[in-house]
Amino acid sequence: MGEFAIRTRNLSKTYRIGKNRFKYDTLRDKIGKAIKAPFVRLFGNEKVEVDDGMPDHIWALDGIDLEIKRGEVVGIIGSNGAGKSTLLKVLSRITEPTQGTVDIWGKVGSLLEVGTGFHPELTGRENIFLNAAILGMTRTKILEKFDQIVDFAEVGDFIDTPVKHYSSGMYLKLAFSVAANLDPDILIVDEVLAVGDAEFQKKCLGKMQNVSEAGRTVLFVSHNMGLIQDLCPQSILLDKGKLAYKGRTADCVQRYLSNKKETVAVRAGGRSNFALGEIAINGGTNSFISSERLSVKIPVSGKNAIPPKCIFIIEDFQGKTILHSTLNLNEQIHGKLNGPHIIKLEFPPLWLSTGIYSCYFKFISLDIGRQSRFTSERLLVECYKDDDAISSGKSSPILTPLYDWTMTAAEPAETSAEIRCETTGLLATENG
């Protein structure tokens, strides 16, 4: 089969947008044209296209050169309209490219929309056979996998019910089960997992990991950066139809979030007498090892300013607050704030899990009954793990605090040596 599963060269796809802009002739125009050109039909609605300077085409994909090896699990990220779904449709042979070539080695199983390829009037059983046949499976192979597909989809009680009566979640479960359980060489999944419940999402991710561990290729589109980082060692970043980056997922996500970085937002009525500098993480490296301390600094300056309340916030990829810490500066500075100062915050080692986070400061001051708010620029920070901070399992925990573990010798009166871990409640004995 070769080294590669997918290879594209100058892959481009264009779509016509908007509607035709035409100028319709008036009666006077028609009479004039009839006199000048007697062979033109007098009452025909001749339309003249008007060039208003607005583009009538858009390049959803623009010159994509991509090579994906067999067995790679690759995430595809980018803003809405970046071309992610269009790329998957081209790779799935659903739509033809405008320019360029696509080479694919192996059978492709794709799930791009809920219930893709399902007929609403057919039952779940009939749709399994129909969809699997479209994917190139023989009837013998479908029968061999049928029970496995139904069990995974958890729709056994409704398998002979027309799928038009299914909920969107049931649609998704059955569609994903068909695509993932027919042993495709390449599994392509768009962000449809958000429709299912949490337990089924976990099953889907586990199935994709099993597919990848079996040496098959997985392409996964998602706006959930946590899932992308847990599942995909490599990722590609699309920006306005172009391939902006391909490489390590952490670097790819860093570039993506950097492009979406918020600027400094200062909301203070009237003349401001308080100013913020730039956040510095560990001396400006913007990264730290999870077994080391995290140091955060931000310069501030005031001119007869009332010391504000200072709040430091850390958020994950989805904008959920992981931590916030508050300090009232009036407890540190008595009287007015004048001149430059440095606010420093330190965190102990082994508390935050590996990954990329967004952090920023908020300041709230109250001056003669008027509240002023200052928000610093968001800064992306990456937490790495080392040999002292290895986590078990396929997904990273949210927090990794440092616990005190102990083990003592058993008393002679005890018949078996027991080792207890109070943190997890697990018990192991030498006698089994």
What pLDDT shows up at residue 386?
59
Cα–Cα distances in angstroms (integers) from residue 136 to residues 178, 179, 292, in the given order? 12, 11, 53
How far is 200 from 169, CA to CA, in rounded Å?
A: 9
- Hey, what are 174's tokens? 């059955």
The answer to whether the CB of 234 falls within 8 A of the CB of 247 is yes
Higher pLDDT, 19 or 362: 362
The answer to whether the CB of 192 falls within 8 A of the CB of 223 is no
Cα–Cα distances in angstroms (integers) from residue 321 to residues 221, 260, 359, 407, in the given order? 24, 18, 10, 36
- In the block, tokens 């207890």 appear at 420
How far is 257 from 380, CA to CA, in rounded Å?
A: 8
Quick one: angle between helices 139-153 and 124-134, nearest 10?
130
Cα–Cα distances in angstroms (integers) from residue 265 to residues 361, 373, 374, in the given order? 11, 9, 7
Report which of 114, 123, 127 is spatially closest to residue 168, judged by C-alpha positions. 114
Higher pLDDT, 420 or 293: 293
Which residues, in sequence order, are CB contacts of 85 under 8 Å at separation 6+?
112, 190, 221
pLDDT tens digits, one per residue of 259-280: 654 433 333 343 457 888 888 8
pLDDT tens digits, one per residue of 133-173: 877 778 888 898 899 889 888 888 899 999 888 887 788 78
CA dihedral angle for residue 233, residue 195, residue 158, residue 185, rounded to 10 degrees: -20
Q: How many CB atoms lie within 10 A of CB 253?
A: 25
Q: Does the pTM exceed 0.75?
A: no
Higher pLDDT, 306 or 12: 12
Q: Domains in the chain, please, with CATH?
A: 57-259 (3.40.50.300), 265-387 (2.70.50.60)
What pLDDT shows up at residue 123?
92
- In the block, tokens 């310069």 appear at 299
Local confidence band at 31 (pLDDT 50, 70, 90 cut-offs): confident
Q: How many CB atoms lie within 10 A of CB 390?
A: 10
Cα–Cα distances in angstroms (integers) from residue 84 to residues 239, 240, 250, in the given order? 9, 10, 19
Top-ranked range on mean pLDDT: pick from 55-59, 60-64, 383-387:
60-64
Cα–Cα distances in angstroms (integers) from residue 173 to residues 119, 165, 218, in the given order? 15, 14, 18
CA 48 to centroid of chain Cα atoms? 45
Report which of 48, 44, 57 is spatially closest to residue 21, judged by C-alpha positions. 48
What pLDDT shows up at residue 6?
92
Using alpha carbons only, give the angle 286, 292, 294 rounded to the nearest 5 degrees.
45
